[in-house]
Amino acid sequence: METLSIVRQQLAVFFALILLSGCAIQLVPDYDQALLDGLNDANTEALTLFAQVESGSPADEFPSYARDYARVIGKFGALRQRAQSRYVPPLASRLAEKKIIRDFCASESNPTGCLNASPESIGEILSGLRTMRDLHRQRGLENGAVVAFRNRYDIQIDQALTVENALKR
């Protein structure tokens, strides 16, 4: 009788280990190949735009770039929507509400942004491109301004691409 009890306990532990070994806790959104491909395509177009105006461009030349700005801004806008609409696992959302996560993410307003960081990075890209477009239209672009916009852009696109490539794991 005692041997049967020990065998049952061992079987229970064995099955519990099998069940637990298959469990995984997901705290970040799923990888989205289309989002990464879109970021790479939009990045190529943005870098092409920066290359076209890198030595500066007067305001009267803006109309020849208007479509390029619209296309790049539109692509990044669509990618931001795609990234924002990603499913964030429920456990991750609940954990994001805890003080320790809010402190870690340094965001009282949107702690889940730490779990799905790409929309914020893409939003910063959009803000920079819109500001550059508006400055180009109103006063033209000097070389120094283009360099500043490009540096800001490089930081944000690097963040978005790094996060999306990390999700690929």
For residue 109, CA distances in Å to 29, 103, 149, 155 come to: 19, 11, 27, 23
Residue whose C-alpha is closest to residue 62's, from 119, 129, 137: 137
Please say if the pLDDT value at position 152 is more than 90.
yes
CB 106 within 8 A of CB 42: no
Encode burial over 14-39: b for 16+ CB neighbours within 10 A, e otherwise. eeeeeeeeeeeeeebbeebeebbebb
The model's pTM is 0.78
The pLDDT, as a whole number, for residue 86 is: 86
Residue 8's pLDDT is what?
Answer: 65
| Tokens 């490089």 found at | 154
The Cα 58–Cα 64 span in angstroms is 11
Euclidean distance between CA atoms 134 and 62, whole angstroms: 10
Beta-bridge mates of residue 141: 57
pLDDT tens-place string over residues 73-128: 999 999 999 999 887 766 555 565 665 556 656 555 555 566 678 999 999 999 99
- For residue 168, the model assigns a pLDDT of 85
pLDDT in tens, 1-48: 566 566 566 656 555 545 555 556 666 677 889 999 999 999 999 999
The pLDDT of residue 107 is 54
pLDDT confidence of residue 98:
61
- pLDDT (mean) for 138-150: 98
Nearest-10 Cα torsion for 64, 68, 73, 76: -170
Q: What are the DSSP calls for 139-166, one per residue?
A: T-B-HHHHHHHHHHHHHHHHHHHHHHHH
DSSP 3-state of 56:
coil
